[in-house]
Amino acid sequence: MTIGFNGQVAIVTGAGRGLGRSHAELLAERGATVVVNDVVGADEVEAAINRAGGRAVASDDDISTPAGAASLVQRAAEEFGGVQILINNAGVGRFTTLDLASIDEYELVRRSGLDGTFYVTREVWPLMTAAKYGRIVVTTSGNGLLGNPASVTYAIAKAGVYGLMRAVALDGAEFGIKANALAPMASTPMSTEFVSPDMAEMLRVEFPTSLVSPIVAVLASEQCPVSGYTFDAGGGRIGITFQGTNAGFYDRDMTPESILSSWDSVVSRADFVEFASGYESLSMVAASRERALVGIGE
C-alpha cells in the first residue's frame, strides 16, 4: 500500500528548519502541496521543495497570534481551495525549574507551542468539517506526557496540546477528521544540549526524511488507522504512549485511613482499562459497584 498526497494541501507550522522541514519535505515528495510556515526560514524550504519538483508556498505568519493563524489558513484556503492536512509542529523550548521560570518565558513557550496550535487548528476546523475530511497532528513531547526535570513551562505547553488533540479527535469523528499526537525525539537545535553525542547521532534529522517524519505521513494519510493516539518516534523506533485507568479501590464508606490501608489496590496496575473519553471513564465507578455487589452476593 502506497501513501500519497496528490491533490491534497498540507500546512506544516514551524517548517523553516528541524523536524517541521523534514515533515514538509516528505509530504511534498509524496505529492502534497505544502504551505511551509515559519517566522524564520520558510522561503528557503519553499525554494528547496520547488527545486526538488514538489509544490510549496512559504508563509512567515506568526501563529502565536490569532491574526497570524487566521492569515496562514486563509491564504491556504484562498490559494488552494482547502486544507486536508495540518501538522502543528511549531514550538519553542525553554528548560527551567519553577523558581527560574519567568512569566516572559512562560508566555513565549505557551504562545508558540500551545496557543499557536489552538489558533491554527481552530482556523482549519470549519474547512475540514465542511469537507467532512481532515488529518490533524499536534506535536507534544515526553516533557508534557511524562515530565522531565527543569522543563516546567515547556511541559505545560506540551501537555496542553495533548488535551487539545484528545478533544479534537472526539469532536472530529463524525466529520471524518482524525487527530493524533506526535512526541518526537530528534537531534535539532532544540534538543542537542540534552543528549549525548552518541544519542545525538542516533536521533539525527536528515532531509528529506528524518526518522520521525514517516509516522507523520501515516497520520496525515487517508489510510491513517487511528484517532486520539500519541506516537513517540525517534532514532528508528515508533511506539505509543497511552493512559490507563485502573480498577482501583471501591468502598462507599471509605475514610482517609481506609484509603491508605488499601493503597496497593488504589495504585495497582494489575488491571486497567484505556478509555476513549473522560465521560467513558465514569463507567469505572459503576463497574466497581457491580463487582462489590457480586462480592456481597457470594
Ligand X SMILES: NC(=O)c1ccc[n+]([C@@H]2O[C@H](COP(=O)([O-])OP(=O)(O)OC[C@H]3O[C@@H](n4cnc5c(N)ncnc54)[C@H](O)[C@@H]3O)[C@@H](O)[C@H]2O)c1
- Which of residues 26, 27, 57, 63 is near ligand X by CB under 6 A? 63
Helices 152-172 and 116-131: angle between axes, nearest 10 degrees:
10
Shortest distance (Å) from residue 19 CB to ligand X: 4
Per CB under 6 A, which region of 46-54, 86-94, 162-170, 278-286 contacts ligand X?
A: 86-94
Name, in order, each residue with C-beta under 8 angstroms of 222's C-beta and a sequence gap of 6 or more. Answer: none
250 — alpha (psi -120 to 50), left (phi > 0) or beta? beta
Pick 3 or 199: Cβ nearer ligand X? 199
Shortest distance (Å) from residue 142 CB to ligand X: 7
The interface mask with ligand X, positions 173-212, x = CB under 6 A, is -----------xxx-xxxx---------------------
Cell of 187: 537531534
Length of the chain: 298
- Which of residues 8, 33, 84, 112 is near ligand X by CB under 6 A? 112
- Which of residues 62, 121, 165, 208 is near ligand X by CB under 6 A? 62
Cα 29 to Cα 41, 66, 196, 225, distances in angstroms: 19, 30, 32, 22
- Which of residues 90, 145, 169, 181 is near ligand X by CB under 6 A? 90
Pick 35 or 169: Cβ nearer ligand X? 35
3-state secondary structure labels for all residues of 160-227: HHHHHHHHHHHHHHHHCEEEEEEEECCECCCCHHHCCHHHHHHCECCCCCCCCHHHHHHHHCCCCCCC
Q: What is the DSSP letter of 29?
A: H
277 by DSSP, 3-state: which? Answer: coil
**What is Dmax (Cα atoms) for the chain?**
74
Pick 133 or 181: Cβ nearer ligand X? 181
Pick 23 or 135: Cβ nearer ligand X? 23
Q: Which residues are catalytic?
A: 154
**Contact set for ligand X, span 20-49 (CB under 6 A):** 20, 37-41
Total binding residues toward ligand X, as defined by CB under 6 A: 32
**Contact set for ligand X, span 114-153 (CB under 6 A):** 116, 139, 141
Neighbours of 49 (CB within 10 A): 26
Pick 133 or 183: Cβ nearer ligand X? 183
The interface mask with ligand X, positions 3-22, x = CB under 6 A, is ----------xx-xxxxx--
Shortest distance (Å) from residue 35 CB to ligand X: 12
159, 146 contact by CB (below 8 A): no
- Which of residues 10, 35, 83, 93 is near ligand X by CB under 6 A? 93
Phi, psi of 105 (to 5 degrees): -60, -45
User: What is the binding site for ligand X (CB under 6 A)?
Assistant: 13-14, 16-20, 37-41, 62-64, 89-93, 112-113, 116, 139, 141, 184-186, 188-191
